Every structure is written in structure tokens, then in C-alpha cells.
Amino acid sequence: MSIINIVDVEATCWDKDPPRGQVNEIIEIGLTTVDLAARERVAKHRILVRPRRSEVSDFCTELTGLTQAEVDSGVEFAEACKILAAEHQAGARAWASWGDYDRHQFTRQCQATRTAYPFGAKHINAKAAFTTARGLKKRPGMAQALNLAGLKLEGRHHSGADDAWNIAALVLELAETGHWPQ
């Protein structure tokens, strides 16, 4: 398990309840490939996903920087899952995310769209690993964890690609200190 995928998704969101008939849908998949043995981030990837059952709100654009026009140029969700499997070996590699939101969002969206789940069974909750390693009572957000680890936030917070890159830095810090689950 030397090579793992770090995944962070951004989804349609609203400052209050979703408008009638709309649901949270993945609009960006950020993925950073990490080589744990070499202790390095190998590659940074971004897949834009065109939503079908929702629209990007002004709140979502403010949070993520993504616009409706930008995600309209993305691929269908099923195609994004095929890309994860074919180009990033998502079914064969262990993967991690900051918390369980990303895993649950993929599960919900795959079920709703009857799309094959692109990942293997080995998911690691990096937030839980960080919390345990630091002996914290409350699980910190990614930006707070970077601060606690003495790492700088690189890029834009709530960009899937940038957040995956930053989570990967935290994973490498955990691996370096012997706290990354094997």
C-alpha cells in the first residue's frame, strides 16, 4: 500500500435548505496521488463534474470558486467514476479523505445514479487518524489541522484539487511520525 489516492470532493451547496427538487451533487473531484514509501505527493488531479439534479448557487460559487458555467464543461458523474477507475486505479488502491463526507457522498450519488462505485473497500479517514495521533478530543477541520501541524494551506480552501493536495501533506506528516494506519 505504498501508493494511495487522497480524495476531496466539492458538491453543490446552499446557505440554507436546497431549492425544491435539488440535491447535493459532486461538482469537483480533487485527487492527489501519494507515495508513502517515498514520502511525497506524486500528482495532483482535478475532475469537474456536470450536475444533473442541481445548480451551483451563488453561495456555492463563493465557497468553492466554481461557477455553473465551469461545471457545465465537466463530465457526467458516471464518466468521472470511470476516469477514477481507469486513470487513478481507484478500485485497486487504498484511498483517504478528510472525514467520511466524501465516501458517503460517493455512495449516495452512485446509488442515486446507478453508477458503479469507483473505489475499493480500503478507505482511511485521515481526520480520525490525525485526531488520534494528536490526542485531540474534537476532530479539527482540514485548515485547522494544517495549522496544528505547522503546515501552510496551499491554494484555495474548498477547492477539491487544492484540498486533496493539503490533506496529502497531512497524511505524509502522519506517515513521517509513524501515525498513518497501515
- Indicate the SS3 state at residue 162: helix
Question: Is-contact 90 119, C-beta < 8 A?
Answer: yes
CA distance 165 to 153: 9
Edge to edge, what strands does the sheet with 40-48 contain? 40-48, 26-35, 3-11, 95-97, 123-125
Tens-place pLDDT, residues 100-154 = 999 999 999 999 999 999 999 999 999 999 999 999 999 999 999 999 999 999 9
What pLDDT, on a 0 to 100 scale, did the predictor assign at position 11? 98
Mean pLDDT of the chain: 97
Q: Is the pTM of this model over 0.95?
A: yes
Quote the cell numbers at residue 42. Answer: 506524486
What pLDDT, on a 0 to 100 scale, did the predictor assign at position 79? 98
Domains and CATH numbers, the chain: 3-176 (3.30.420.10)
